[in-house]
Structure 1
């Protein structure tokens, strides 16, 4: 390691402190070790907080390793603590591990070499934990930004956990309110998922009633999972109200357009029928007109022939004075024919 490693070494025995520091410097050249011999020095170090890791004996003249562990974890929960002792017992080791101890090494000539590896593992473990916490924070921030509601429930509908976006989407104030109002009807979905083959997963678009009575459309994704031997229902909801409203408006618009097309088609059919009837009437009228024209032509033909005949006779006899009476008779007939 190239960075400085700051360690508190809490031990009444100066020889043991020296051996620990010797082994650590072989592995960590940039070691800064602070030796703690009494309660005042420990209190001062705790107040300053300038350390990355603690190595403590169990049996101290002014305290015990368990008390040191509790004090460290209370003030610095993420600080690794290693107990290096020959006065402890298996019960003490178990209790210490339950209280957050990172490692337990027995004091013996062949165990000093374990101290550097125990320190390295403890530091790597805390780094992994910090990275995981940071990743979880980033993921949670991303999910909240996307407004995706995430939840986990027991099969009876009681909620185990959820993110703030879930409460916000459904207008809820707390996890207990989510369990009490049963807005998602979890038992019913559980019954449906049980009948599905693995993976027992389902996605659907549903309309939900929020806590204030308003309705929203959500895309619901649910799945049955097993956590620590217990079946739970995990789910995710996304608000799709705007998209669903747009789809409904488009459907209504399509229905309106279809109705208009039907009305226009009916109007065109009526217009075509009227046009057909009009064409039929025109055809009849044309036939009547042709008959009328033929009748008029036939009726006018005979008087015209009479006019032509008498006119020709008059033209031929115009120089004959003796036939005056006949000429007058012809003219009277011509006048009668034109009338």
Structure 2
């Protein structure tokens, strides 16, 4: 462990006796202290050029300058060095003029004052250390703020005028720092938004922060959609000091959201409407007395239209999940066991000759879920089990009700899911390559992804295992009440 660096003190005084008194006092109080004595203007200039001292002890009255001038030169050349001033004949009011210039302390040249000198030095060194640490932290914060290019980070005073400005603010708004400082905050807002910030700043002052979105305006007059966060800053005594603001250009995100809404509208309404008309007419043709060729054509139209409807539904679910924060669920109380029984009968009819679905139920199947969404889950898992399992083989479905939730297990024998596909089975647009030769891989590869998202939207979990010996097993775990249904469950109670 290296020895501590000795304290180095610069003593500037034209009186040899006073320098000797200060040096003796410091040497008794600080072991190994190095005293740098200065008595002339030439020695002062040399000491100032060389630096290397931790504290300066200055006489106020010197033949070539006064202590205030020396104090200013030290802080100009060596900022942060603590300075203590000694005075023999100067009035106290005169020395106090140096305090705003950064003077740490002053002492009269008396025996009692020299006895206090070590204590004064210790306090001055500690305050200097704290001041340097504060300056370093401020500089670090300034560098961090300046380094954030994608966000405008700035401060607004209590009168709502801009008081600081980072490089990111210039990049986002086009205003340079000289152009922005001192300007009212409304400079950045689109004309129709100028009245809103008053309430938002007031809310930030009351609650501590505010987050919202507004139309803002750049220097060139162009508009951008801003994601804005305001945080109130207060003095130690509690008074409002101003606000810290972080503004991000969210125009592209807003455009994406608008595009998403238009896409959902087009796909969900404009495409589904004509498709429903095609389905309706094809079913009418199929049910009426028509030549065999017409009937076959109607059947093909119906099958193709139903497949298109499933694709549209999957695309809508994918879009909502990826861009809308998850697949929405609308819950109500029902018996999941009864729903699974009905779905199993429908699936067997669709996959006629593809195997039998055997359903086993234990416990209670009541809960609050979205019946339409869980129908999608059950249809997909059973349908996949019939398609990809052993041809003609059974599909085992086991439902177990526990006090906390319901477990749904779907099992089939047959070729296992390839090992490289298994970890990505719930990713969108992933399909089983090995089943294409059997004509089973149809659609976009979104089925299991949507199943996963529906289960997740209900607060549940889904797992899959697949081996040659054990077959393929999907297990869904659902809580009795999905998170969005908690208030519904409490209000209505379980059947």
Q: What's the TM-score, normalizing by structure 1?
A: 0.71
Q: Map 1:59-74; keep pairs closer than 5 Å.
A: 59-74=61-76
Of residues 261, 268, 286, the one that matches 2:272 is 261
What's the counterpart of residue 253 of structure 2? Answer: 243
Deviation at 1:54, TM superposition (A): 1.0
What's the counterpart of residue 60 of structure 2? Answer: 58
Whole-angstrom distance in 1 between the partners of 2:122 and 2:147 = 37
Q: What's the TM-score, normalizing by structure 2?
A: 0.51
Whole-angstrom distance in 1 between the partners of 2:34 and 2:43 = 16
Say whether the 8 Å CA contact 1:156–1:186 is kept in structure 2. Answer: no
Say whether the 8 Å CA contact 1:58–1:87 is kept in structure 2. Answer: no
Moved more, 243-252 or 132-141: 243-252
Say whether the 8 Å CA contact 1:224–1:234 is kept in structure 2. Answer: yes
Q: Say which structure, 1 or 2, has more relative contact order (CA 8 Å, 6+ apart).
A: 1
Is 1:212 matched up with 2:217?
no
Say whether the 8 Å CA contact 2:213–2:226 is kept in structure 1. Answer: yes
Give 5+ residue unaligned stretches, structure 1. 283-339
What's the counterpart of residue 86 of structure 2? Answer: 84
Whole-angstrom distance in 1 between the partners of 2:134 and 2:11 = 28
Say whether the 8 Å CA contact 1:159–1:175 is kept in structure 2. Answer: no
Q: Map 1:227-306; keep pairs closer than 5 Å.
A: 232-259=242-269, 260-278=271-289
Structure possessing the higher radius of gyration over alpha carbons: 1
Is 1:202 matched up with 2:213?
no
Deviation at 1:232, TM superposition (A): 3.4
Q: Map 1:1-339; keep pairs closer than 5 Å.
A: 2-146=4-148, 147-154=150-157, 157-177=160-180, 179=183, 182-184=187-189, 188-194=196-202, 198-199=206-207, 201-226=209-234, 232-259=242-269, 260-278=271-289
Whole-angstrom distance in 2 between the partners of 1:196 and 1:183 = 18
Say whether the 8 Å CA contact 1:155–1:186 is kept in structure 2. Answer: no
Q: Deviations over 1:129-183 (max 9, x none)?
A: 2222222232233334443322223566532222221122111123434737812
Whole-angstrom distance in 2 between the partners of 1:203 and 1:154 = 18
Alpha-carbon RMSD across the aligned residues, in angstroms, is 3.0
Say whether the 8 Å CA contact 1:9–1:35 is kept in structure 2. Answer: yes
Change in CA separation of 1:218 and 1:197 when aligned onto 2, cut-off 3 Å: closer
Deviation at 1:204, TM superposition (A): 0.6
Whole-angstrom distance in 2 between the partners of 1:224 and 1:100 = 30
Deviation at 1:246, TM superposition (A): 3.4
Q: Deviations over 1:266-321 (max 9, x none)?
A: 32122223333446x99xxxxxxxxxxxxxxxxxxxxxxxxxxxxxxxxxxxxxxx
Query: SS in structure 1 opposite 2:93?
Result: helix
Say whether the 8 Å CA contact 2:200–2:210 is kept in structure 1. Answer: no
Deviation at 1:24, TM superposition (A): 1.8
Say whether the 8 Å CA contact 2:203–2:210 is kept in structure 1. Answer: no
Whole-angstrom distance in 1 between the partners of 2:159 and 2:195 = 6
Say whether the 8 Å CA contact 2:205–2:240 is kept in structure 1. Answer: no
Whole-angstrom distance in 2 between the partners of 1:252 and 1:165 = 32
Matched residue pairs, number? 281
Deviation at 1:64, TM superposition (A): 2.2
What's the counterpart of residue 290 of structure 1? Answer: none
Deviation at 1:209, TM superposition (A): 2.6
Say whether the 8 Å CA contact 1:154–1:232 is kept in structure 2. Answer: yes
Whole-angstrom distance in 1 between the partners of 2:118 and 2:60 = 19
Whole-angstrom distance in 2 between the partners of 1:137 and 1:171 = 24
Deviation at 1:76, TM superposition (A): 2.4
Whole-angstrom distance in 2 between the partners of 1:134 and 1:50 = 19
Whole-angstrom distance in 2 between the partners of 1:197 and 1:75 = 41
Whole-angstrom distance in 2 between the partners of 1:230 and 1:104 = 35
Whole-angstrom distance in 2 between the partners of 1:94 and 1:278 = 112
Whole-angstrom distance in 2 between the partners of 1:13 and 1:182 = 61
Whole-angstrom distance in 2 between the partners of 1:270 and 1:144 = 65
Say whether the 8 Å CA contact 2:232–2:240 is kept in structure 1. Answer: no
